Structure 1
Amino acid sequence: MSSSDAGTGAMQAYLGRLRRLTSHVAVDDASEQADAIVAAGSSLAALDEVSLDAVTRWVRSRPADVYALGLTVGLSQEKLKNLLRVAFGTTSWVKAATRDPQALVEWLDDELGLLAALEAQRHRVYTFGDVLAARGTSRQTASRAGVAGKLIEDAVEQIVRDLGLPYEMRGRFVGRNGDTGPADLAVPGFEDALIAVACKGFDSTGSKLTAAVTEVMDMANVSFAHQYVLAVVDGIGWLSRQGDFRRMHALLESHRIDGLYALADLDAFRADLHAAAVRHGLLEGALPDVAAQVAPGEPVVARAETPDAQLHLDL
Protein backbone atom coordinates (compact mmCIF):
# COMPACT_ATOMS: atom_id res chain seq x y z
CA MET A 1 0.00 0.00 0.00
CA SER A 2 1.37 3.42 -0.94
CA SER A 3 1.77 6.18 1.64
CA SER A 4 -0.98 8.18 -0.09
CA ASP A 5 -3.34 5.19 0.10
CA ALA A 6 -2.47 4.76 3.79
CA GLY A 7 -3.11 8.45 4.39
CA THR A 8 -6.45 8.30 2.58
CA GLY A 9 -7.44 5.23 4.58
CA ALA A 10 -6.53 6.88 7.87
CA MET A 11 -8.49 10.00 6.94
CA GLN A 12 -11.57 7.99 5.97
CA ALA A 13 -11.32 6.07 9.24
CA TYR A 14 -11.19 9.39 11.09
CA LEU A 15 -14.22 10.71 9.20
CA GLY A 16 -16.04 7.56 10.21
CA ARG A 17 -15.55 8.49 13.87
CA LEU A 18 -17.08 11.97 13.54
CA ARG A 19 -20.24 12.53 15.54
CA ARG A 20 -23.05 15.04 15.66
CA LEU A 21 -22.21 17.61 18.33
CA THR A 22 -25.50 19.49 18.53
CA SER A 23 -28.90 17.91 18.96
CA HIS A 24 -31.63 18.55 16.43
CA VAL A 25 -34.16 21.06 17.65
CA ALA A 26 -37.51 21.37 15.89
CA VAL A 27 -38.26 24.89 14.78
CA ASP A 28 -41.39 25.00 16.91
CA ASP A 29 -39.75 23.65 20.08
CA ALA A 30 -40.07 25.93 23.08
CA SER A 31 -37.08 27.84 24.41
CA GLU A 32 -36.55 30.80 26.70
CA GLN A 33 -35.32 32.94 23.79
CA ALA A 34 -38.29 32.02 21.60
CA ASP A 35 -40.72 32.64 24.44
CA ALA A 36 -39.15 36.06 25.09
CA ILE A 37 -39.44 37.01 21.40
CA VAL A 38 -43.08 35.87 21.25
CA ALA A 39 -43.88 37.88 24.37
CA ALA A 40 -42.16 40.97 22.97
CA GLY A 41 -44.01 40.60 19.67
CA SER A 42 -47.36 40.29 21.44
CA SER A 43 -46.57 43.39 23.47
CA LEU A 44 -45.70 45.36 20.34
CA ALA A 45 -48.88 44.18 18.63
CA ALA A 46 -50.89 45.42 21.61
CA LEU A 47 -49.61 49.02 21.36
CA ASP A 48 -52.44 51.47 20.79
CA GLU A 49 -50.36 53.29 18.21
CA VAL A 50 -46.96 53.16 16.56
CA SER A 51 -45.26 56.47 17.25
CA LEU A 52 -41.94 57.71 18.53
CA ASP A 53 -43.40 58.37 21.97
CA ALA A 54 -45.25 55.05 22.20
CA VAL A 55 -42.27 52.93 21.13
CA THR A 56 -39.95 54.94 23.40
CA ARG A 57 -42.22 54.16 26.36
CA TRP A 58 -42.17 50.51 25.32
CA VAL A 59 -38.36 50.48 25.17
CA ARG A 60 -38.11 52.23 28.54
CA SER A 61 -40.26 49.56 30.15
CA ARG A 62 -38.76 46.59 28.27
CA PRO A 63 -35.08 47.33 27.53
CA ALA A 64 -34.17 43.63 27.34
CA ASP A 65 -36.65 43.20 24.46
CA VAL A 66 -35.02 45.71 22.12
CA TYR A 67 -33.69 42.70 20.22
CA ALA A 68 -37.28 42.26 18.95
CA LEU A 69 -37.11 45.71 17.37
CA GLY A 70 -33.92 44.63 15.64
CA LEU A 71 -35.72 41.59 14.28
CA THR A 72 -38.50 43.85 13.05
CA VAL A 73 -36.06 45.64 10.74
CA GLY A 74 -34.21 42.47 9.73
CA LEU A 75 -31.20 42.61 12.03
CA SER A 76 -29.63 39.50 13.49
CA GLN A 77 -28.38 39.73 17.04
CA GLU A 78 -24.79 40.07 15.83
CA LYS A 79 -25.63 42.81 13.33
CA LEU A 80 -27.60 44.72 15.94
CA LYS A 81 -24.65 44.55 18.33
CA ASN A 82 -22.21 45.75 15.67
CA LEU A 83 -24.39 48.70 14.72
CA LEU A 84 -24.96 49.64 18.36
CA ARG A 85 -21.21 49.66 18.95
CA VAL A 86 -20.78 52.28 16.24
CA ALA A 87 -23.81 54.39 17.14
CA PHE A 88 -23.80 54.16 20.96
CA GLY A 89 -20.40 52.86 21.95
CA THR A 90 -21.78 49.61 23.37
CA THR A 91 -22.95 46.26 22.03
CA SER A 92 -25.59 46.01 24.78
CA TRP A 93 -29.06 47.11 23.71
CA VAL A 94 -30.08 47.06 27.36
CA LYS A 95 -27.44 49.68 28.17
CA ALA A 96 -28.33 51.78 25.13
CA ALA A 97 -32.04 51.59 25.99
CA THR A 98 -31.44 52.49 29.64
CA ARG A 99 -29.20 55.46 28.84
CA ASP A 100 -31.45 57.10 26.24
CA PRO A 101 -34.46 55.10 24.99
CA GLN A 102 -35.71 57.89 22.75
CA ALA A 103 -32.33 58.26 21.03
CA LEU A 104 -32.28 54.50 20.44
CA VAL A 105 -35.75 54.50 18.87
CA GLU A 106 -34.94 57.57 16.77
CA TRP A 107 -31.79 55.90 15.52
CA LEU A 108 -33.61 52.68 14.63
CA ASP A 109 -36.24 54.69 12.80
CA ASP A 110 -33.88 57.09 10.99
CA GLU A 111 -31.43 54.39 9.91
CA LEU A 112 -33.71 51.39 9.43
CA GLY A 113 -37.30 52.60 9.19
CA LEU A 114 -38.44 51.02 12.44
CA LEU A 115 -41.82 52.75 12.85
CA ALA A 116 -42.98 52.04 9.31
CA ALA A 117 -41.84 48.42 9.61
CA LEU A 118 -43.70 48.00 12.90
CA GLU A 119 -46.87 49.52 11.49
CA ALA A 120 -46.72 47.30 8.41
CA GLN A 121 -45.87 44.06 10.14
CA ARG A 122 -47.43 43.86 13.59
CA HIS A 123 -51.01 43.05 12.47
CA ARG A 124 -50.21 41.27 9.24
CA VAL A 125 -51.56 37.73 8.78
CA TYR A 126 -48.73 35.39 7.79
CA THR A 127 -49.12 32.29 5.66
CA PHE A 128 -47.25 29.04 6.18
CA GLY A 129 -45.16 29.96 3.13
CA ASP A 130 -44.15 33.22 4.81
CA VAL A 131 -43.04 31.26 7.87
CA LEU A 132 -40.98 28.84 5.77
CA ALA A 133 -39.38 31.72 3.85
CA ALA A 134 -38.42 33.46 7.10
CA ARG A 135 -36.89 30.26 8.45
CA GLY A 136 -35.03 29.55 5.22
CA THR A 137 -33.46 33.00 4.95
CA SER A 138 -32.75 33.65 8.62
CA ARG A 139 -29.76 32.90 10.80
CA GLN A 140 -31.96 31.53 13.57
CA THR A 141 -29.66 28.56 14.19
CA ALA A 142 -26.45 30.60 14.08
CA SER A 143 -26.30 30.78 17.86
CA ARG A 144 -25.77 27.01 17.84
CA ALA A 145 -22.59 27.32 15.76
CA GLY A 146 -20.53 28.04 18.85
CA VAL A 147 -22.09 25.21 20.85
CA ALA A 148 -20.18 22.48 19.00
CA GLY A 149 -16.80 24.13 19.46
CA LYS A 150 -17.52 24.86 23.12
CA LEU A 151 -18.36 21.19 23.71
CA ILE A 152 -14.91 20.21 22.46
CA GLU A 153 -13.20 23.01 24.41
CA ASP A 154 -14.90 21.87 27.61
CA ALA A 155 -13.85 18.24 27.07
CA VAL A 156 -10.24 19.22 26.38
CA GLU A 157 -10.11 21.65 29.30
CA GLN A 158 -11.40 18.97 31.65
CA ILE A 159 -8.61 16.59 30.60
CA VAL A 160 -5.98 19.28 31.14
CA ARG A 161 -7.40 20.08 34.55
CA ASP A 162 -7.57 16.39 35.50
CA LEU A 163 -3.88 16.08 34.68
CA GLY A 164 -3.13 19.09 36.87
CA LEU A 165 -1.48 21.10 34.09
CA PRO A 166 -1.34 24.90 34.08
CA TYR A 167 -3.07 26.37 31.03
CA GLU A 168 -4.72 29.38 29.42
CA MET A 169 -7.75 29.43 27.14
CA ARG A 170 -8.26 31.17 23.79
CA GLY A 171 -5.40 33.34 22.65
CA ARG A 172 -2.26 33.39 20.54
CA PHE A 173 0.88 31.48 21.48
CA VAL A 174 4.37 32.75 20.75
CA GLY A 175 6.39 30.67 18.29
CA ARG A 176 9.39 31.10 15.98
CA ASN A 177 10.85 34.57 15.48
CA GLY A 178 8.31 35.99 17.91
CA ASP A 179 5.47 35.14 15.50
CA THR A 180 2.19 34.09 17.06
CA GLY A 181 -0.38 31.48 16.18
CA PRO A 182 -3.96 30.98 17.35
CA ALA A 183 -4.79 28.34 19.95
CA ASP A 184 -7.88 27.45 21.92
CA LEU A 185 -5.72 26.22 24.80
CA ALA A 186 -2.02 26.57 25.63
CA VAL A 187 0.08 24.80 28.27
CA PRO A 188 1.40 26.32 30.47
CA GLY A 189 0.35 29.62 28.85
CA PHE A 190 0.49 31.60 25.61
CA GLU A 191 3.74 33.49 26.23
CA ASP A 192 5.68 30.33 27.11
CA ALA A 193 3.61 27.71 25.30
CA LEU A 194 4.98 24.17 25.20
CA ILE A 195 1.72 22.59 24.04
CA ALA A 196 -0.87 24.34 21.86
CA VAL A 197 -4.28 22.80 21.26
CA ALA A 198 -6.94 23.61 18.66
CA CYS A 199 -10.57 22.66 19.38
CA LYS A 200 -12.71 22.69 16.24
CA GLY A 201 -16.24 21.32 16.08
CA PHE A 202 -18.86 21.98 13.41
CA ASP A 203 -22.12 20.24 12.57
CA SER A 204 -22.98 22.74 9.84
CA THR A 205 -20.85 23.54 6.85
CA GLY A 206 -19.50 26.75 5.35
CA SER A 207 -16.47 29.02 5.20
CA LYS A 208 -15.94 28.76 8.96
CA LEU A 209 -14.53 25.27 8.41
CA THR A 210 -11.99 26.65 5.94
CA ALA A 211 -11.09 29.30 8.51
CA ALA A 212 -10.61 26.58 11.15
CA VAL A 213 -8.20 24.71 8.88
CA THR A 214 -6.32 27.95 8.25
CA GLU A 215 -5.95 28.42 12.02
CA VAL A 216 -4.46 24.95 12.45
CA MET A 217 -2.10 25.60 9.52
CA ASP A 218 -1.03 28.87 11.15
CA MET A 219 -0.28 26.96 14.36
CA ALA A 220 1.90 24.53 12.42
CA ASN A 221 3.68 27.32 10.55
CA VAL A 222 4.80 29.30 13.59
CA SER A 223 5.51 26.54 16.10
CA PHE A 224 8.99 25.56 17.23
CA ALA A 225 9.93 21.88 16.88
CA HIS A 226 9.78 21.55 20.68
CA GLN A 227 6.25 22.95 20.80
CA TYR A 228 3.56 20.30 20.49
CA VAL A 229 0.59 21.19 18.29
CA LEU A 230 -2.48 19.04 18.90
CA ALA A 231 -5.94 19.41 17.35
CA VAL A 232 -9.24 17.93 18.53
CA VAL A 233 -11.61 18.12 15.57
CA ASP A 234 -15.11 16.68 15.30
CA GLY A 235 -18.60 17.32 13.97
CA ILE A 236 -20.50 16.08 10.93
CA GLY A 237 -19.99 19.38 9.10
CA TRP A 238 -16.59 18.09 7.98
CA LEU A 239 -18.28 15.35 5.95
CA SER A 240 -19.40 18.05 3.51
CA ARG A 241 -16.01 19.79 3.50
CA GLN A 242 -13.66 16.87 3.00
CA GLY A 243 -11.32 18.98 0.87
CA ASP A 244 -10.75 21.26 3.86
CA PHE A 245 -10.41 18.32 6.21
CA ARG A 246 -7.88 16.69 3.86
CA ARG A 247 -5.64 19.77 4.11
CA MET A 248 -5.71 19.53 7.89
CA HIS A 249 -5.15 15.78 7.92
CA ALA A 250 -2.16 16.30 5.60
CA LEU A 251 -0.52 18.33 8.38
CA LEU A 252 -0.61 15.21 10.53
CA GLU A 253 0.66 12.94 7.74
CA SER A 254 3.61 15.26 7.11
CA HIS A 255 4.28 15.54 10.89
CA ARG A 256 3.73 19.29 10.89
CA ILE A 257 1.30 18.82 13.76
CA ASP A 258 1.67 16.21 16.47
CA GLY A 259 -1.83 14.86 16.89
CA LEU A 260 -5.33 14.97 15.42
CA TYR A 261 -8.23 13.52 17.42
CA ALA A 262 -11.98 13.08 17.21
CA LEU A 263 -13.95 13.05 20.45
CA ALA A 264 -13.90 9.26 20.20
CA ASP A 265 -10.10 9.52 20.52
CA LEU A 266 -9.97 11.51 23.77
CA ASP A 267 -8.22 8.69 25.62
CA ALA A 268 -5.45 8.87 23.02
CA PHE A 269 -5.39 12.66 23.35
CA ARG A 270 -5.07 12.34 27.12
CA ALA A 271 -2.18 9.87 26.76
CA ASP A 272 -0.34 12.02 24.21
CA LEU A 273 -0.88 15.20 26.20
CA HIS A 274 0.49 13.47 29.29
CA ALA A 275 3.53 12.19 27.35
CA ALA A 276 4.24 15.68 26.00
CA ALA A 277 3.95 17.17 29.47
CA VAL A 278 6.31 14.53 30.91
CA ARG A 279 8.91 15.23 28.23
CA HIS A 280 8.76 18.91 29.08
CA GLY A 281 9.07 18.24 32.79
CA LEU A 282 5.57 19.48 33.58
CA LEU A 283 4.49 16.07 34.89
CA GLU A 284 6.19 12.97 36.22
CA GLY A 285 5.36 9.27 36.06
CA ALA A 286 3.00 7.16 34.02
CA LEU A 287 -0.50 8.22 33.08
CA PRO A 288 -2.89 6.73 35.65
CA ASP A 289 -5.25 4.04 34.33
CA VAL A 290 -4.60 4.63 30.62
CA ALA A 291 -0.82 4.33 30.43
CA ALA A 292 -1.08 1.61 27.81
CA GLN A 293 -3.70 3.37 25.71
CA VAL A 294 -3.11 3.10 21.97
CA ALA A 295 -4.42 5.80 19.67
CA PRO A 296 -7.31 4.54 17.52
CA GLY A 297 -6.34 6.85 14.68
CA GLU A 298 -3.04 8.22 13.49
CA PRO A 299 -0.21 7.85 16.03
CA VAL A 300 1.70 10.91 17.10
CA VAL A 301 5.13 10.86 15.48
CA ALA A 302 8.13 13.14 15.64
CA ARG A 303 8.58 16.18 13.46
CA ALA A 304 12.02 17.06 12.13
CA GLU A 305 14.25 18.32 14.90
CA THR A 306 16.40 21.41 14.98
CA PRO A 307 19.76 21.11 16.78
CA ASP A 308 18.59 22.86 19.92
CA ALA A 309 15.10 21.38 19.95
CA GLN A 310 13.74 19.03 22.56
CA LEU A 311 12.38 15.61 21.65
CA HIS A 312 8.92 15.24 20.16
CA LEU A 313 6.48 12.44 20.75
CA ASP A 314 7.25 9.19 19.02
CA LEU A 315 4.63 6.83 20.36
Structure 2
Amino acid sequence: MSEAVPFEAYLSSLSRLAPYVDPTTPTPESEGLRLAVADLESLDSISVESLTDWVNRYPHWANVFGLAVGLSQEQLKNSLKSSLGTSGWVTLARKRPADLVNFFEDEFELVRALESQRSRTYDFADILIARAGTRATATRSQSAGRMVEDRITDIAEELGLPYVARSSFVGRDSENKPADMIVPSVADAKIVVAAKGFDSTGSKLTDAYREIADVAAHRFANQYVFAIVDGIGWHSRLADLRRIHDLWVSRKIDGMYTLSSLGQFRTDLRNAGLRLGLIDV
Protein backbone atom coordinates (compact mmCIF):
# COMPACT_ATOMS: atom_id res chain seq x y z
CA MET A 1 0.00 0.00 0.00
CA SER A 2 1.07 3.59 -0.54
CA GLU A 3 2.89 5.55 2.17
CA ALA A 4 1.02 8.28 4.03
CA VAL A 5 1.71 11.79 2.75
CA PRO A 6 2.22 14.65 5.23
CA PHE A 7 -1.00 16.16 6.55
CA GLU A 8 -0.32 19.60 5.03
CA ALA A 9 0.20 18.00 1.62
CA TYR A 10 -3.08 16.16 1.95
CA LEU A 11 -4.85 19.32 3.08
CA SER A 12 -3.60 21.25 0.06
CA SER A 13 -5.02 18.58 -2.26
CA LEU A 14 -8.61 19.01 -1.07
CA SER A 15 -10.82 20.29 -3.85
CA ARG A 16 -14.28 21.73 -4.29
CA LEU A 17 -16.55 18.84 -5.28
CA ALA A 18 -19.58 20.82 -6.43
CA PRO A 19 -18.69 23.58 -8.89
CA TYR A 20 -19.74 27.11 -8.03
CA VAL A 21 -22.98 27.99 -9.77
CA ASP A 22 -23.77 31.65 -10.44
CA PRO A 23 -27.43 31.93 -9.34
CA THR A 24 -28.05 34.58 -12.01
CA THR A 25 -26.86 32.41 -14.91
CA PRO A 26 -29.81 31.16 -17.00
CA THR A 27 -30.32 27.39 -17.04
CA PRO A 28 -32.96 25.23 -18.74
CA GLU A 29 -34.65 24.93 -15.34
CA SER A 30 -34.67 28.67 -14.67
CA GLU A 31 -35.96 29.44 -18.14
CA GLY A 32 -38.70 26.87 -17.64
CA LEU A 33 -39.69 28.61 -14.42
CA ARG A 34 -39.82 31.95 -16.22
CA LEU A 35 -42.21 30.51 -18.79
CA ALA A 36 -44.37 28.93 -16.08
CA VAL A 37 -44.58 32.14 -14.07
CA ALA A 38 -45.36 34.21 -17.16
CA ASP A 39 -48.21 31.87 -18.01
CA LEU A 40 -49.54 31.96 -14.44
CA GLU A 41 -49.44 35.75 -14.48
CA SER A 42 -51.51 35.77 -17.66
CA LEU A 43 -54.44 33.96 -16.03
CA ASP A 44 -57.52 36.16 -15.71
CA SER A 45 -58.15 34.90 -12.20
CA ILE A 46 -56.54 32.65 -9.62
CA SER A 47 -58.87 30.01 -8.21
CA VAL A 48 -58.86 26.32 -7.45
CA GLU A 49 -60.68 25.73 -10.73
CA SER A 50 -58.35 27.83 -12.90
CA LEU A 51 -55.26 26.31 -11.28
CA THR A 52 -56.63 22.80 -11.78
CA ASP A 53 -57.08 23.49 -15.48
CA TRP A 54 -53.66 25.14 -15.72
CA VAL A 55 -51.68 22.36 -14.05
CA ASN A 56 -53.47 19.72 -16.10
CA ARG A 57 -52.40 21.54 -19.28
CA TYR A 58 -48.83 22.01 -18.02
CA PRO A 59 -48.09 19.04 -15.71
CA HIS A 60 -44.32 19.53 -15.83
CA TRP A 61 -44.78 22.90 -14.15
CA ALA A 62 -46.66 21.51 -11.15
CA ASN A 63 -43.62 21.97 -8.91
CA VAL A 64 -44.09 25.75 -9.29
CA PHE A 65 -46.92 25.44 -6.78
CA GLY A 66 -44.47 23.96 -4.28
CA LEU A 67 -42.01 26.78 -4.84
CA ALA A 68 -44.78 29.36 -4.43
CA VAL A 69 -45.59 28.07 -0.94
CA GLY A 70 -41.94 27.69 0.10
CA LEU A 71 -41.39 23.95 -0.26
CA SER A 72 -38.07 22.49 -1.33
CA GLN A 73 -38.19 19.65 -3.83
CA GLU A 74 -37.60 17.10 -1.06
CA GLN A 75 -40.32 18.63 1.12
CA LEU A 76 -42.71 18.66 -1.83
CA LYS A 77 -42.08 15.00 -2.60
CA ASN A 78 -42.47 13.96 1.02
CA SER A 79 -45.68 15.97 1.44
CA LEU A 80 -47.24 14.56 -1.73
CA LYS A 81 -46.26 11.02 -0.80
CA SER A 82 -47.80 11.41 2.65
CA SER A 83 -51.05 13.03 1.51
CA LEU A 84 -51.66 11.69 -2.00
CA GLY A 85 -49.77 8.41 -1.99
CA THR A 86 -47.17 9.35 -4.59
CA SER A 87 -44.36 11.88 -4.89
CA GLY A 88 -44.76 12.19 -8.67
CA TRP A 89 -46.24 15.64 -9.23
CA VAL A 90 -46.25 15.27 -13.02
CA THR A 91 -48.38 12.13 -12.83
CA LEU A 92 -50.69 13.76 -10.30
CA ALA A 93 -51.09 16.83 -12.49
CA ARG A 94 -52.03 14.65 -15.45
CA LYS A 95 -54.31 12.15 -13.74
CA ARG A 96 -55.50 13.83 -10.53
CA PRO A 97 -55.13 17.59 -11.05
CA ALA A 98 -58.04 18.48 -8.76
CA ASP A 99 -56.59 16.39 -5.93
CA LEU A 100 -53.22 18.04 -6.42
CA VAL A 101 -54.54 21.60 -6.36
CA ASN A 102 -56.88 20.89 -3.44
CA PHE A 103 -53.92 19.47 -1.53
CA PHE A 104 -51.97 22.70 -2.02
CA GLU A 105 -54.99 24.81 -1.17
CA ASP A 106 -55.95 22.87 1.96
CA GLU A 107 -52.42 22.58 3.30
CA PHE A 108 -50.76 25.81 2.15
CA GLU A 109 -53.45 28.26 0.96
CA LEU A 110 -52.11 28.17 -2.58
CA VAL A 111 -54.62 30.62 -4.05
CA ARG A 112 -53.80 33.29 -1.48
CA ALA A 113 -50.06 32.71 -1.88
CA LEU A 114 -50.21 33.10 -5.66
CA GLU A 115 -52.51 36.12 -5.53
CA SER A 116 -50.22 37.92 -3.09
CA GLN A 117 -47.00 37.05 -4.89
CA ARG A 118 -47.64 37.17 -8.62
CA SER A 119 -48.18 40.94 -8.85
CA ARG A 120 -45.81 42.04 -6.10
CA THR A 121 -42.60 43.97 -6.86
CA TYR A 122 -39.53 42.46 -5.20
CA ASP A 123 -36.29 44.20 -4.26
CA PHE A 124 -32.77 42.85 -3.81
CA ALA A 125 -33.29 42.11 -0.11
CA ASP A 126 -36.31 39.94 -0.95
CA ILE A 127 -34.16 37.96 -3.40
CA LEU A 128 -31.41 37.35 -0.85
CA ILE A 129 -33.90 36.38 1.85
CA ALA A 130 -35.47 33.85 -0.51
CA ARG A 131 -32.08 32.38 -1.36
CA ALA A 132 -31.17 32.12 2.32
CA GLY A 133 -34.16 29.87 2.83
CA THR A 134 -33.44 27.47 -0.01
CA ARG A 135 -31.82 24.08 0.16
CA ALA A 136 -29.85 24.46 -3.07
CA THR A 137 -26.49 24.26 -1.33
CA ALA A 138 -27.45 21.12 0.57
CA THR A 139 -28.70 19.51 -2.63
CA ARG A 140 -25.41 20.22 -4.41
CA SER A 141 -23.46 18.85 -1.44
CA GLN A 142 -25.45 15.61 -1.51
CA SER A 143 -24.81 15.32 -5.24
CA ALA A 144 -21.10 15.91 -4.66
CA GLY A 145 -20.95 13.13 -2.08
CA ARG A 146 -22.69 10.74 -4.44
CA MET A 147 -20.26 11.73 -7.20
CA VAL A 148 -17.32 10.57 -5.05
CA GLU A 149 -19.06 7.25 -4.44
CA ASP A 150 -19.69 6.83 -8.15
CA ARG A 151 -16.04 7.46 -8.96
CA ILE A 152 -14.81 4.66 -6.69
CA THR A 153 -17.35 2.15 -7.97
CA ASP A 154 -16.34 3.05 -11.53
CA ILE A 155 -12.77 2.12 -10.65
CA ALA A 156 -13.88 -1.21 -9.16
CA GLU A 157 -15.78 -1.98 -12.35
CA GLU A 158 -12.75 -1.10 -14.49
CA LEU A 159 -10.68 -3.56 -12.45
CA GLY A 160 -13.32 -6.27 -12.72
CA LEU A 161 -13.86 -6.38 -8.97
CA PRO A 162 -17.26 -7.49 -7.67
CA TYR A 163 -18.62 -5.00 -5.16
CA VAL A 164 -21.66 -3.85 -3.21
CA ALA A 165 -22.27 -0.10 -2.95
CA ARG A 166 -23.66 1.79 0.04
CA SER A 167 -24.22 -1.12 2.40
CA SER A 168 -22.85 -2.52 5.65
CA PHE A 169 -20.78 -5.46 6.82
CA VAL A 170 -20.12 -7.18 10.13
CA GLY A 171 -16.93 -6.11 11.87
CA ARG A 172 -14.72 -8.00 14.29
CA ASP A 173 -16.96 -6.87 17.15
CA SER A 174 -19.96 -8.55 15.46
CA GLU A 175 -21.56 -5.13 14.86
CA ASN A 176 -22.70 -3.76 11.51
CA LYS A 177 -20.37 -1.16 9.97
CA PRO A 178 -21.42 1.15 7.13
CA ALA A 179 -19.31 1.32 3.99
CA ASP A 180 -19.72 3.06 0.66
CA MET A 181 -18.16 0.16 -1.22
CA ILE A 182 -17.59 -3.43 -0.10
CA VAL A 183 -15.50 -5.92 -2.11
CA PRO A 184 -16.44 -8.58 -3.05
CA SER A 185 -19.63 -8.99 -0.99
CA VAL A 186 -21.31 -8.04 2.27
CA ALA A 187 -20.83 -11.56 3.62
CA ASP A 188 -17.14 -11.59 2.66
CA ALA A 189 -15.96 -8.00 3.11
CA LYS A 190 -12.29 -8.30 2.19
CA ILE A 191 -12.01 -4.65 1.11
CA VAL A 192 -14.11 -1.82 2.54
CA VAL A 193 -14.05 1.74 1.28
CA ALA A 194 -15.46 4.89 2.87
CA ALA A 195 -16.23 7.86 0.61
CA LYS A 196 -16.58 11.12 2.53
CA GLY A 197 -16.92 14.08 0.20
CA PHE A 198 -18.27 17.31 1.69
CA ASP A 199 -18.24 20.87 0.41
CA SER A 200 -20.32 22.05 3.37
CA THR A 201 -19.40 21.64 7.01
CA GLY A 202 -21.19 20.44 10.13
CA SER A 203 -21.43 17.53 12.54
CA LYS A 204 -21.69 15.07 9.65
CA LEU A 205 -17.94 15.43 9.14
CA THR A 206 -17.29 14.37 12.73
CA ASP A 207 -19.69 11.47 12.15
CA ALA A 208 -17.63 10.55 9.07
CA TYR A 209 -14.47 10.37 11.17
CA ARG A 210 -16.22 8.24 13.79
CA GLU A 211 -17.44 5.80 11.13
CA ILE A 212 -13.97 5.39 9.68
CA ALA A 213 -12.37 5.10 13.13
CA ASP A 214 -14.92 2.47 14.17
CA VAL A 215 -14.21 0.39 11.07
CA ALA A 216 -10.46 0.74 11.66
CA ALA A 217 -10.80 -0.37 15.29
CA HIS A 218 -12.77 -3.49 14.40
CA ARG A 219 -11.28 -4.55 11.08
CA PHE A 220 -10.16 -8.11 10.50
CA ALA A 221 -6.46 -8.89 10.10
CA ASN A 222 -6.85 -9.80 6.42
CA GLN A 223 -9.15 -6.88 5.60
CA TYR A 224 -8.21 -3.75 3.65
CA VAL A 225 -9.70 -0.40 4.64
CA PHE A 226 -9.51 2.64 2.35
CA ALA A 227 -10.98 6.13 2.71
CA ILE A 228 -11.62 8.75 0.04
CA VAL A 229 -11.89 12.07 1.88
CA ASP A 230 -12.27 15.26 -0.13
CA GLY A 231 -14.18 18.54 -0.36
CA ILE A 232 -13.65 22.06 0.93
CA GLY A 233 -15.95 21.44 3.90
CA TRP A 234 -13.04 19.70 5.65
CA HIS A 235 -11.20 23.03 5.93
CA SER A 236 -13.65 23.88 8.70
CA ARG A 237 -13.17 20.51 10.40
CA LEU A 238 -9.40 20.21 10.40
CA ALA A 239 -9.31 18.32 13.70
CA ASP A 240 -11.51 15.56 12.27
CA LEU A 241 -9.53 15.48 9.02
CA ARG A 242 -6.30 15.19 10.98
CA ARG A 243 -7.73 12.31 13.03
CA ILE A 244 -8.53 10.41 9.84
CA HIS A 245 -5.05 11.18 8.52
CA ASP A 246 -3.57 9.87 11.79
CA LEU A 247 -5.35 6.56 11.16
CA TRP A 248 -3.51 6.37 7.86
CA VAL A 249 -0.13 7.34 9.36
CA SER A 250 -0.52 4.67 12.06
CA ARG A 251 -1.58 2.12 9.39
CA LYS A 252 -4.94 1.56 11.02
CA ILE A 253 -6.34 2.19 7.55
CA ASP A 254 -4.50 1.25 4.37
CA GLY A 255 -4.97 4.41 2.36
CA MET A 256 -6.52 7.88 2.28
CA TYR A 257 -7.18 9.71 -0.98
CA THR A 258 -8.65 12.82 -2.56
CA LEU A 259 -10.10 12.89 -6.07
CA SER A 260 -6.74 14.11 -7.33
CA SER A 261 -5.07 10.93 -6.04
CA LEU A 262 -7.62 8.42 -7.29
CA GLY A 263 -4.92 7.08 -9.60
CA GLN A 264 -3.05 5.92 -6.50
CA PHE A 265 -6.31 4.53 -5.09
CA ARG A 266 -6.77 2.52 -8.27
CA THR A 267 -3.25 1.11 -7.92
CA ASP A 268 -3.73 0.24 -4.25
CA LEU A 269 -7.15 -1.28 -4.87
CA ARG A 270 -5.75 -3.39 -7.70
CA ASN A 271 -2.83 -4.57 -5.56
CA ALA A 272 -5.20 -5.51 -2.75
CA GLY A 273 -7.39 -7.38 -5.21
CA LEU A 274 -4.39 -9.28 -6.56
CA ARG A 275 -3.17 -10.25 -3.08
CA LEU A 276 -6.64 -11.46 -2.14
CA GLY A 277 -7.04 -13.44 -5.34
CA LEU A 278 -9.96 -11.30 -6.51
CA ILE A 279 -8.22 -10.24 -9.73
CA ASP A 280 -6.63 -12.60 -12.22
CA VAL A 281 -3.00 -11.83 -13.00
CA distance in structure 2 between the aligned counterparts of 1:247 and 1:18, rounded to whole angstroms: 16
Quote the Cα distance in structure 2 between the aligned partners of 1:147 and 1:261.
19
Alignment equivalent of 1:17, drawn from 3, 8, 13: 13
1:288 corresponds to: none
Matched, 1:277 2:273: yes
Using the alignment, how far apart are the partners of 1:58 and 1:142 within structure 2?
A: 31
Partner of 1:299: none
Identity of aligned residues (%): 46
* Matched letter for residue 68 of structure 2: T
| Structure 1 stretches lacking a partner, 5+ long | 1-6, 286-315
RMSD after superposition: 2.2
Match of 2:88 among 88, 92, 102: 92
Q: Which aligned pairs between 1:104-183 and structure 2 lie closer than 5 A? A: 104-176=100-172, 178-183=174-179
* CA offsets 1:6-42 (integer angstroms, 9 cap, x no match): x9x8222211111122222211112122222222222
Provide closer, same or farther for how the CA distance between residues 132 and 264 of structure 1 changes in structure 2, counting only shifts above 3 A: same
- CA–CA distance in structure 1, aligned partners of residues 186 and 209 of structure 2: 20
TM-score (norm 1): 0.81
The alignment of Structure 1 onto Structure 2 pairs a total of residues equal to 278
Q: 1:45–1:214: structure 2 CA closer, same or farther, 3 Å change rule?
A: farther
State the AA in 2 paired with 1:83: S
The structure showing larger relative contact order (alpha-carbon pairs under 8 Å, at least 6 residues apart) is 2
Once residues 217 and 16 of structure 2 are traced to their aligned partners in structure 1, the CA distance between those partners, rounded to angstroms, is 30
Pairwise CA distance, 1:49: 0.9
Q: Whole-Å Cα distance in 2 between the matches of residues 206 and 177 of structure 1?
A: 29
More displaced 10-residue stretch of structure 1: 206-215 or 95-104: 206-215
1:79 to 61, 75, 81: 75
The worse-fitting range, judged by mean Cα deviation, of 56-65 and 253-262 is 253-262
Q: Quick one: distance in 2 between partners of 1:10 and 1:132?
A: 41
One-letter identity of the residue aligned with 1:269? F
Secondary structure at the residue paired with 2:112? Answer: helix
* Structure 1 residue 284 displacement after superposition: 4.3
Whether the 8 Å contact between 1:182 and 1:218 is mirrored in structure 2 is no
- Alpha-carbon separation, structure 2, partners of 1:191 and 1:49: 62
| 1:29 counterpart = 2:21 | no
Aligned match of 2:45:
49
**Structure 2: runs of 5+ lacking an equivalent:** none
Structure-2 change in CA distance of 1:150 and 1:282 (3 Å): same
Q: Which residue of 2 aligns with 1:297?
A: none
TM-score (norm 2): 0.90
Distance (whole Å) between structure 1 residues aligned to residue 48 and residue 57 of structure 2: 14
SS in structure 1 at match of 2:229? strand
Secondary structure class of the residue paired with 2:6: helix
